[in-house]
Every structure is written in C-alpha cells, then in structure tokens.
Structure 1
Amino acid sequence: MNKILVVDDDPNILELVNIHLAQAGYSVMKASNGEEALQLAETELPDLAVVDVMMPGMDGYTLTQRLREEDLPVLLLTAKGELEDKERGFLAGSDDYVVKPFEPKELLFRIHAILRRYDKVVDAIIQAGPLKINRQSYEVSVGNKVLLLPLKEFELLSVLASRPNQVFSRDILLERVWGYDYEGDEQTLNVHIKRLRDKLEKLADEVQIATVRGVGYKLEVSS
C-alpha cells in the first residue's frame, strides 16, 4: 500500500485530501507545517508528498527542496495559477502542480501518474487473510494453491486486496486499473469482477468480493 504525506496548514484542506486519498486506497499521513512533515518523512518513509505552497514558517517551495533531497516525489498544491509560481515549483523539484480549488479526481490521477513514474504503485507483496499476491511474479496463492490471472484481473484484485474490507467505488477502481483517461463503460469492470469471483471461490472460502450496492466493491476477508 502506498503511503502519502499530505502537508497543509489549512485543516479543512488537509482533511478533504485525506478523505479522498483514503477512499482511493492510500495510507495517509498528515502534517500542518514543514518541520512536522520532515519528521514524518524521516520516520514513516512515505512514497509521495502532497505539499501546499503557502504555509507559515517553511513554505512549500523550501519543503519541496528538502524532500527532494531524500528522493521523495512531491506534488504541489497552491491557490496561485500564474506561470511564475509554476516555474518556481518545478525549479524547487516538484513532480507536478495542482491549483486549488481542484477536482479530487484530478488530484488522484496526478498522484497515480507520479507513482507510476517512480514505480511505486503498490507493495511488492500484498497479504489479505490467507490470500498472498506477489506483484513481482504476478502470482496469487493460498497455501500451496497458485492462481495465474490475466493482467487486468490481477491489478483489480491487487487494488481490492490492498485495503481488505474497505469499499472502493467503481470510479476509483476504473481509474486505478484502467487509467483516468479510460473511455469505456462500467460493464468492463463488472465482467472482470465476475471472473475474479469465480476464480476466488475455487481458491479460498475466507476471501470473497462483495458488492456494495450503489457504490462499488470490497474484498471481504473473514478471520
């Protein structure tokens, strides 16, 4: 599971970003200033930081420079949209730039794009109850039983298993597996879910994909 560090002195923005990232399956750490962010970056080793530019004390540009010294990708949030501000952000080392107010979906696909560039999409090994997903060998196993899946089914199961028992909306699943620019319909997702269900039934009784009507799906893992 990817860890995202969110840094903003506005508690409302901080909580808004936290909610959307958590719903998308990310593990979120929150900081209200630059010093707190640097401490979390050192101890928690996040995969990416979302940083507000306008903060008292250490501003977002300075924080970005410090985080980039540790090879941590940074996406800047700012209320300013002028070219000069964007230029300053990129010169500080930011990987991307989002102007407030922003659409949550835009923030999510930009984060996803950065993580893909850094090859940190999800953990190499995902464990959900008895289910083990190896993203290096692309194997799904329970004990001695091994299942090889088509790529999209494998990616879909990986997303669901990254947060067992948490509901993922249909839009989030489509964005995480097929990309934010996917122009197909939800029937593709439904077909892949059905195929995964059929295969999981033969692999483990303790793990199943549940439909949450009107929202999406979750991977139910019984203890």
Structure 2
Amino acid sequence: MDYRKVFVNAQEIQLPRREFDLFYLLASNPGRVFTQEQLYQQIWGYDYVPTENSLHSCLRRIRRKLEDVKAPCSIQNMRGVDYCFLREDT
C-alpha cells in the first residue's frame, strides 16, 4: 500500500489509521463477509483486547464519512455479527 488516501467522486475522505485499515480491508474484498473477530485480528492484532465499542465506533465514523460524500458504496451489518463492503452498480 503506497498511499493511505481514499477518494470518492474526486473528493478525499480523511481517515485515521485504523479507519483507513478497516476501510481498505473491507473495500478490497467487496461482498466478502468478515466476522467481528476477523476484523479485530486483522486490524487491531491478535494481542488486542477489544473494548465493547471500538469496532462499532470505527465503522460508524467510516459510514458517516461515506454518507457525507454520497459514496456509491456502503458497509453492511450482516445479521448483527458480520460486516461486508457493498458497491452500488452504476
């Protein structure tokens, strides 16, 4: 990964490190469903002891930023436990 920038409709979205890493993982695998455990392990690491809201807060901030720029994509919660990145067909 050479750059840590996200652009939607030619507009840059500012994402701190964890938000970028999480967005990059999900967006690089559209349609793939990740469990919370998988996301914690891949983004925060195996030694991380998650707090109750760390993943949810990070996802909420990313979703809000995507909505602000009317991004043609979303991060969906699948049955309350899993998450996946979806692109709208244009």
Aligned residues: 89
> In the alignment, does 2:49 pair up with 1:191?
no
Tell whether the 8 Å contact from 2:77 to 2:84 is kept in structure 1 after alignment: yes
Task: Supply the RMSD in Å over aligned alpha carbons.
Answer: 1.4
Within 5 Å, give how 1:167-206 maps onto structure 2. Answer: 167-206=33-72
| Residue 222 of structure 1, CA deviation | 1.2
Does residue 1:212 correspond to 2:78, yes or no? yes
Kindly state the Cα deviation for residue 217 of structure 1 after the two structures are TM-superposed.
Answer: 0.8
| Unmatched 5+ stretches in structure 2 | none
Shift of 1:181: 1.1
Identify the residue that residue 112 of structure 1 maps to in structure 2.
none
Q: CA deviation at 1:191?
A: 0.4
The 1-side partners of 2:33 and 2:3 are apart by 27
**Partner amino acid for 2:46?**
Y
Shift of 1:202: 1.6
> Paired residue for 2:14?
148
TM superposition score normalised by structure 1: 0.38
Q: Distance in 2 between matches of 1:165 and 1:218?
A: 6
CA contact (8 A) 1:165 1:220 kept: yes
Larger gyration radius, structure 1 or structure 2: 1
Q: Which runs of 4+ in 1 moved over 3 A?
A: none
Q: Which amino acid aligns with 1:164?
A: P
Return the TM-score normalized by structure 2. Answer: 0.89
Structure with a larger share of its residues in helix: 1
1:4-153 to structure 2, matched below 5 A, reads 124=1, 136-153=2-19
Q: Is the 8 A contact 1:164 1:220 kept in 2?
A: yes
Which residue identity is paired with 1:199? K
Local SS of the residue matching 2:19: helix
